[in-house]
Structure formats: structure tokens, C-alpha cells
Structure 1
Amino acid sequence: REDVPIILRMDAGFYDDELFETCEYLKIGYLCGGKQYRNVLDEATDAVDWQPLKKADESNRSWMYTDMRCQQRSWRKARRTIFSTLWEDDGQYVLGDLCRDTVIITNLGMGEPIDQQLRNIGREQWLAAGSILELYHDRGTDELTNRALKTFGHEQLPFKRFNANAAWYFMMVLGNNLFEAFKEDVTEAVIPVSVYADTFRRKFIDTAGKLARHAGKLVLKVSKVDFMRLRLDRLYEKCQAGLPQLC
């Protein structure tokens, strides 16, 4: 589908001009770790438009980066190159000889079809050099999907255990998707969506309570601490509201 943008995030092990040309022929985007060749280092040394980037997480790291064009001897054309260096780690400045430099080769923001695809879905900010640097840093998160699936499938929930039969894997995939949807649609305000099944079970499912009948109604009673911590009144309202249909 031409309306669905595809972006490959690769480390320097995939640095290859033929691969870049294939991605460009297929009209898909790519971010690939580059090599610190002499011409790249010379371009970075001469650059004057360095910009700061501070990562919005607990790592408290900051980078300086510059956006340029570089062309290797065997390439047919110059490609967009983003050179970055780590200059602050955990709030401490990094000495020059200890800085970690990174080179990124990309075709984003070069006027190729992938640029318009991103604009069509409201992701034009991904064409900026700072956003590209963040996307490249987060490339390892793609592998966490497998971990989330395995963690969920092997977690012993208190109300159900799947038998190791032919349907086990497919039930695990379906259950994990429902689990992720529940975190997104219901508990996002009280539990981070990124938590794995074991943490979710400990914080949400393993909550003590009891069912009691009162005035002809069935009432779930929990401690005040758990009620305030999980904001159960808000979660109940979300469950009662019409949630988006899952396709």
C-alpha cells in the first residue's frame, strides 16, 4: 500500500550502498548506522550548525548533532548524513576523548516519496534531524515486542493457565493483543503502557478485594489505598464507556 510509510532502522552492520539503493527503489525510508570515514569526520569538523538534543527519559543524556551530506567514492550520489556526539551523560559533561560519536545515513527529508507519505499521516516532524536521531536511538525497542509476547505467554495468571497444545501459541498472540489494548484503553492513566505482564499483574490484578451484597446490589470492596492508587472510579467509567472497536 502506497499510503503506508515503511522505515527501516538498521545498525552499522547493514551499511551498504546496494541496500540503500534498494530501499530507494522500493520507495521506503531507512535509517542506518554509518562509518566514521575520514571525509565524514572532516565534514563534521568543519560544520558550524551544531544543535543540541536532550533525551526525554531517565537516562539524562544530551547530544550535539549536525546535518550534512556525504558521498563515498563508490556511491552514485550524496546522501543525508547526521553526525552526533554524546556530550552529557547522567548530568555530567563527557570529556572530548570519551565522547561517543554516531553517524546516521538516511533518505528521510530528501524529497523522496517517503517524505510525502509521512506528511500525509501527520508525521512530518520525523523529517527533522533531531527526530531522526531519536528514532535511530530507539531502534532497539522494536525487539521488545518479542519480549513482551513471551513474558505475557509464560506469566502464570491467577485465573487461567494455557495448556501446551496446538492452540497455545495463537491464544498467546491473541491474548497479548487484548492485554496491550486493555492497557491503552483502560489503565493508561494509572499504569504505564510500556510495563510487561509481570509488572501489570503485580500492580493491578493482584489487588485484594471482596464481593459483598448490599441493598440488593453486588459491591466490590477494596482498601482505600488501592482505590486511590488505581483510581478505580475512573477505570470503571472507562470500562462503561464505548471503547474503540478492535479490528
Structure 2
Amino acid sequence: MSTITKIGISRSKLSDRAGLSLIMNFIKNIGFYSLVSNKFLSKIPYSGYGLTLESFFCQMVAHFIDGTHSSICSFDRKKLSASYAPVIGIEKNELASSFQIKRFIVKLSQLSNSELSEILNELFIWRLLHEKPKVIVLGVDTMVMDNNYSEKKEDNKPTYKKVKGFQPLHISWENSLIDVLFRPGNHHSNHGNDYTERVKHIVDLIRSRYSESVPIIVCSDSGFLDEKAFNFFDQLNISFITTGKMYKDITSELEHIKRGDCEKYTNGTLQWDLYDFGNKLKSWSKFWRCIATSLSREEDGQRVLDLSGPDNLIYTNIGKNKISDERLKKADMSDVLTAKGIVQLSHHRGADELIHRSLKELATTESLPFKKFNQNKVYYYILAMSHSLFEAYKNDISYDKISDKAYPNTFRRKLIDFAGEIVEGGRNTTLRIAKEVQEEFDIKELWERCLKPPVILFTAA
């Protein structure tokens, strides 16, 4: 048996994150950096010297997707690496120090939430035009970023989870965030007009850039239970599904329900009794369709005998708005008009939590690095952009190598964290990888796909 008896120094350029080169090449080739430059360059002070906007975004996106280090100081260590620059696709003299990264974030911090969200919006339209969905289901939720240990961060306020932090408002579609409103921790779900204004913005975007008639369904939890929002969405001719709260008057009203009066719904393991009726809270001006659900069979097959009251309420205008209902029928989505279809979509809203888990795993920490609120805002938006690009890569490039539901750490372990040697010569820079890695994932095929992505995000004029 041979054993290591001596340590030497290699003169080769070696990287333990060789897979990073593929996804960074994909991001470059779809035109992401050109899009960022087109949107932001004229809005920030920039002398034209030093670190460029495109290089800054390249290194920030690589920072999140790599996930090896979470601190801004880690950029100083990367600057010393001989292999890091070629892996992410830039020249070594372009590698930024932590000071340069912080200075660029300060420049971008003057941009508003709406301006920063434009990139997420463009990524959303890009995916719509590529995937061409017949119906668009939007998830709306907030996510608490726990920064409880830090007292000096601006607007690091108490949240409903009893920790100090930030509570951005998210609008999601499929596995990606498509719109973000970065907010202090004490801004609750339905704070001010945030909810309706951001949904209207996305609806206008869909109507102007994708389709004037595609059905749109907005799903949210009880934190967004608001008749003003219901009326607003009804006037926009879009559907909404919002979970309700169990008030005493509703519980007493439903005490007479018998199982024989209920429709059955199962997801394969659990079963619920559904009661479809009209309901109006005391402060509301009119009745809305409401579906009460009560669990009747547990996951182990045992039946629940007591029907003392429903365990959940779901409010909707589906089946009551002629225009949005007709759009659903034309899209062959008539099943959504039924109580079972509505409950199924409401239960699917739990996928929003999976996006939050994925986003936090990509960031590696919930702690945001800056004291100033607007600087943390920029950092968070770039995190959200990186997550959308990460999801696009899984869908467009690595779809047959790893599940599109894979979380960042699983993706990193399989498609990022493998060794590579960078060899320069003959006017080429070659990444050499182990034969075993090539045979398992066909890295050469992934590289070819990255060179010719199926659809381009943005082409510079």
C-alpha cells in the first residue's frame, strides 16, 4: 500500500470549484451582464475607471453560487487565487478587493426597490417567453431574515417571528422570485399598499410583455386577508386564493356541517372534507366564495372522527368573476373552478416556503453584511437575481444531470465542487477535469449547452 510521505507545491493552476466555470459561462452567454449594464449604468455615478459594473455583478453572482464564504472580506482571499479569475471568466487584474465591492454596493444603494426589481422582472419575462405557460400562478409571501444578534443595523426591526431582522415581500412564480420589495422587519405582510401595488405591477408586466388574456391566479396566506385587495384583484380580472382566519362567528356557523354534505379531496396520502359556501366577515361589504376544509384521514390512513370545526378556510373569487373564469376555461383549466381545484392550488402555496429555504441556502446565512439599510437592500437583490439565474441553469442546462428541485448545497456538491486544472497555451485556456467526473456528469456536454443557451435573455444593441 502506497502512502503519502512528502508534501510538495504544485505549479499548476488548480481549482476545487471547477464546476463554477460552467454556470458562470451560461450567465454570461445569455446576456445577463449586458442587461444589468443597460439598466443600471446610466443611473449610478461611474467614472469609467477601475472595477466595471459587469465585472462587479459577475463576482457577486459567483460569490453567491459558489457559497464557500459568506463574508465580503472573502473577496480579498479570492483576489490572491491564481485559478479563481479564469474559473469565473474574467481577467486576474479584474478581481475586486472587498473595498471595491463595498464601494460599488454604495453606488447602487441609491437605486430604488422598483429599479432593482427590474432585473428580476426581466428574468421573469424571459422565462415566460421561453416556457409559455397557459396559466400563471403567482405566490405572494414574506420571508424573515433573522439578524437578531446585530443591534446596529439600520431598520433591523422586530418581526412576527420574535427576532429582529428584515422582512422582504416576495412574489414568486414556479421556483423563482420574480419581484421583491426589501423592507424593515416590522413591516407585516399586508403593510400599506405594498401587496396590491407590487401585484398590479406584475400583472401589468404580464399583460404588456407576454399575454393580454392569460389567466393569472394570486395565492397568499392569511397575512394578506384583506377585502380591499380582493376587490382590487377582482377589478383587474385576475383570480385570487387566500387562506382565512378562524374567527368564532365562522366556527359557530359551520358547527352544523355533516360529513355527508361535504365533498372529498385527497392528495394521495391525506384526505379532507370540503364545504363550499359564501362568507362575509363583519367589516366586509359583500360575500366571497369560501371553502372550509377539515382533515378526515391522516397520513397513516387513520380516519379523523371528530368534526368539531374546519381546520382551514380559503377565500377566492374563482367561480364569481366572469372574465377571469372564462380565461381559465379557454386555457383548459376548468378544474380550477371546482372546490378541489382551488384547495389543490392553495395547498401548493407551500412551495413558496421551499423557495425561501433555497434562497437562504444559496446565501449560506440569513445575516446581511452591512449596517446601512440601502446597502443590505442591494446585497439582497443581487442574491435574488443569483437565485433566479441558478434556477434557470437547472432548467436549461443541467436538467438531465440533477433534479430541478435540487437545493443549492446538493447542486454545489455534485456540479460545482469538483477539482479542475487550468492550462493556458496555444491561445486557449483549458479546464482539465478527472475522467470520473466527466463520465458521471458529461461535463463536456454541459459546457456545449452553456456556449449555446436555448434562449437569450438580452442582446446588447
> TM-score, normalized by length of structure 2?
0.41
Match 2:434 to one of 206, 222, 228:
222
Describe the shift of the 1:25–1:171 C-alpha distance in structure 2 as closer, same or farther (beyond 3 A): closer
Separation of aligned partners in 2, 1:169 and 1:83? 37
Aligned to 1:159: none
Displacement of 1:184? 0.8
Match 2:337 to one of 106, 118, 127:
127
- The residue type paired with residue 106 of structure 1 is T
Aligned to 1:58: none
**1:107-156, CA deviations, whole angstroms, 9 ceiling, x for partnerless residues?**
1122433223444555444333223212212324335545534432458x
- The residue type paired with residue 434 of structure 2 is V
Aligned to 1:95: 304
Displacement of 1:79? 3.1
Q: Does 1:201 align with 2:412?
A: yes
Q: Secondary structure in 2 aligned to 1:96? A: coil
Please, what is the CA RMSD of the aligned residues? 3.9
Q: Does 1:68 align with 2:276?
A: yes
Match 1:152 to one of 353, 362, 377:
362
Aligned to 1:160: none
Describe the shift of the 1:174–1:92 C-alpha distance in structure 2 as closer, same or farther (beyond 3 A): same
Q: Does 1:79 align with 2:288?
A: yes
Aligned to 2:267: 54
- The residue type paired with residue 33 of structure 1 is T
Aligned to 1:177: 388
Aligned to 2:320: 110
Match 1:28 to one of 238, 257, 260:
238
Separation of aligned partners in 2, 1:98 and 1:72? 22
Displacement of 1:98? 8.7
**1:9-31, CA deviations, whole angstroms, 9 ceiling, x for partnerless residues?**
33345445454334323433222
Contact 1:31 1:106 in 2 (8 A): yes
Match 2:251 to one of 29, 37, 43:
37
The number of aligned residues is 230
- The residue type paired with residue 68 of structure 1 is D
Displacement of 1:192? 2.0
Describe the shift of the 1:178–1:62 C-alpha distance in structure 2 as closer, same or farther (beyond 3 A): same
Separation of aligned partners in 2, 1:123 and 1:238? 34
Q: Secondary structure in 2 aligned to 1:181? A: helix
Contact 2:237 2:321 in 1 (8 A): no
Aligned residues with identical type, % of pairs: 27
Describe the shift of the 1:204–1:87 C-alpha distance in structure 2 as closer, same or farther (beyond 3 A): farther
Separation of aligned partners in 1, 2:242 and 2:414? 38
> TM-score, normalized by length of structure 1?
0.69
Q: Equivalent residues in 2 for 1:235-246 (5 A)? A: 235=446, 238-239=449-450, 242-246=453-457
Between stretches 17-26 and 79-88, larger displacement belongs to: 17-26
Contact 1:31 1:136 in 2 (8 A): yes
Separation of aligned partners in 2, 1:15 and 1:180? 30
Q: Secondary structure in 2 aligned to 1:93? A: coil
**1:143-192, CA deviations, whole angstroms, 9 ceiling, x for partnerless residues?**
5545534432458xxxxxxx98x675554444333222111111122322
Separation of aligned partners in 2, 1:80 and 1:170? 37
Aligned to 2:219: 9
Describe the shift of the 1:190–1:96 C-alpha distance in structure 2 as closer, same or farther (beyond 3 A): farther
**1:71-114, CA deviations, whole angstroms, 9 ceiling, x for partnerless residues?**
34756654322232223333332432499732212111224332
Contact 2:298 2:304 in 1 (8 A): no
Separation of aligned partners in 2, 1:147 and 1:200? 14
Separation of aligned partners in 1, 2:224 and 2:255? 20
Unaligned stretches of 5+ residues in structure 2: 1-203
Contact 1:32 1:105 in 2 (8 A): yes
- The residue type paired with residue 21 of structure 1 is N
